């Protein structure tokens, strides 16, 4: 039986610290996945700090050309976040593979576009309107950013800090890793309490320096801010800051099915 082949890819935003280190970790994750699944890992493509339309990035352009010129079975990423910070970025790249025989595997999300479940997910994604559905503002309007959205007071979400010179939100990479871990563990089926207890046991503190609680985890998981969305006076602004997770992951974590599983996992009241 012919051994399957694959290439890897990662994109990071221009503001990502130690992008090379993250890329090395990503490559190792993909390499390990290939080894465990008897896939021949051919090449890694990296758009570190890349800007512009997702399929026009320098390395992504080379990647697509490489696929067209070579027999490759899969493009593998460690998570959908490696494709881009916006839902639109992910859809653009998915569209590039729609008419190709190459599959796309996302390790964290357990997504394989060549199997039936993966195809159902892709079909569902393409049925979603261009503007994401996860937030419904009071007046049902979603506005694109026409000017910079500045920090206007209140608590700064875990994973971010305020640049006092520009008054913009900036990612704190160490905290961002915790945010991605929380979403990843929740997707794997762990309860809010289990996630909170593990973080506290490891000495990881909340934004205010306290211990983690189930409600703290729940608040993070339900906050669309982590997808790059900013809500002000009922109006939704997109791409106002770097996202930490994809909208696909956010929607999956907050699906009715996930809520029902959490409810069933709770101990019955005595």
State how far Cα 206 lies from the chain centre.
21
Residue 62 included in any domain: yes
Establish if 135 belongs to a structural domain.
no
**CATH number, position 16:** 3.40.50.1390
- Give the closest residue to 80 by CA, choosing from 155, 154, 183, 152: 183
What pLDDT score does 136 carry? 42
Interacting residues of 257 by C-beta distance below 8 A, sequence separation 6+: none
The answer to the question of residue 136 being in a domain is no
Task: Say how many C-beta atoms besides its own lie within 10 A of residue 99's C-beta.
Answer: 6
- Is there a single domain that holds both residue 120 and residue 217? no
Q: Are residues 92 and 161 in the same domain?
A: no
> Are residue 153 and residue 254 in the same domain, yes or no?
yes
- CATH number, domain of 157, equals 3.90.1750.20
Predicted TM-score (pTM) of the model is 0.50
Give the contacts of 64 (CB within 8 A, at least 6 positions apart): 55, 96
Residue 110 lies in a domain: yes
Q: State both tokens at 52.
A: 């512009």
HSE-CB at 86 with a 13 A cutoff on CA atoms is 18
Residue 253 and residue 201 share a domain: yes
Quick check: is 226 in a domain? yes
Dihedrals phi, psi of 231, to nearest 5 degrees: -110, 125
Per-residue pLDDT at 138:
44
Task: Let me know whether 41 and 107 are in one domain.
Answer: yes
Domain that residue 92 falls in: 4-127
Distances, alpha carbon 190 to alpha carbons 53, 161, 181, 253, in Å: 35, 28, 11, 11
Residues 92 and 194 placed together within one structural domain of the fold? no
Number of compact structural domains in the chain? 2
pLDDT tens series, the chain, 270 aa: 678 999 999 999 887 888 899 999 999 999 999 999 999 999 999 999 877 778 889 999 999 999 989 989 999 999 888 998 777 778 888 888 877 789 999 998 889 988 888 778 777 766 654 433 344 444 444 443 433 344 444 578 999 988 777 677 889 999 999 999 999 999 999 999 999 999 999 999 998 889 999 999 999 999 989 988 877 656 677 767 888 988 888 988 988 765 555 545 454 332
**Residues 14 and 95 reside in one and the same domain:** yes
In a domain, 270, yes or no: no
Tell me the residue ranges of DSSP E strands in 95-240: 103-106, 111-112, 142-144, 160-163, 168-171, 229-232, 235-238
pLDDT at 194: 95
Q: What is the pLDDT of residue 195?
A: 96
Please choose, from the candidates 65, 4, 69, 84, the residue with its C-alpha nearest in 3D space to the C-alpha of residue 37: 4
Asked if residue 226 lies in contact with residue 244, where contact means CB atoms within 8 angstroms, the answer is yes
């Amino acid at each position: 039986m012919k051994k399957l082949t694959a290439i890897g890819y990662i994109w990071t935003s221009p503001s990502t610290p130690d992008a090379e280190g993250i890329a090395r970790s990503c490559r190792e994750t993909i390499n390990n996945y290939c080894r465990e699944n008897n896939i021949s890992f051919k090449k890694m493509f990296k758009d570190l700090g890349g800007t512009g339309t997702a399929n026009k990035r320098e390395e992504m352009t080379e990647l697509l050309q490489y696929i067209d010129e070579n027999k490759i079975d899969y493009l593998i990423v460690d998570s959908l976040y490696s494709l881009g910070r916006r839902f639109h970025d992910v859809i653009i790249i998915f569209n590039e593979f729609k008419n190709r025989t190459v599959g796309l595997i996302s390790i964290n999300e357990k997504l394989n576009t060549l199997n039936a479940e993966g195809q159902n997910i892709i079909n569902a994604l393409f049925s979603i309107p261009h503007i994401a559905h996860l937030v419904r503002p009071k007046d049902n309007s979603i506005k694109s950013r026409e000017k910079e959205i500045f920090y206007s007071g209140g608590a700064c979400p875990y994973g971010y800090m305020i640049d006092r010179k520009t008054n913009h939100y900036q990612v704190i990479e160490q905290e961002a890793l915790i945010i991605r871990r929380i979403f990843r563990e929740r997707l794997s089926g762990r309860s809010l309490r289990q996630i909170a207890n593990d973080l506290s046991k490891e000495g990881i503190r909340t934004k205010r320096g306290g211990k983690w609680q189930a409600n703290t985890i729940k608040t993070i998981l339900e906050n669309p801010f982590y997808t790059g969305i900013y809500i002000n006076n009922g109006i939704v602004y997109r791409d106002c800051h770097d996202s930490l997770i994809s909208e696909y992951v956010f929607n999956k974590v907050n699906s009715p099915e996930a809520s029902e599983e959490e409810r069933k996992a709770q101990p019955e009241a005595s």
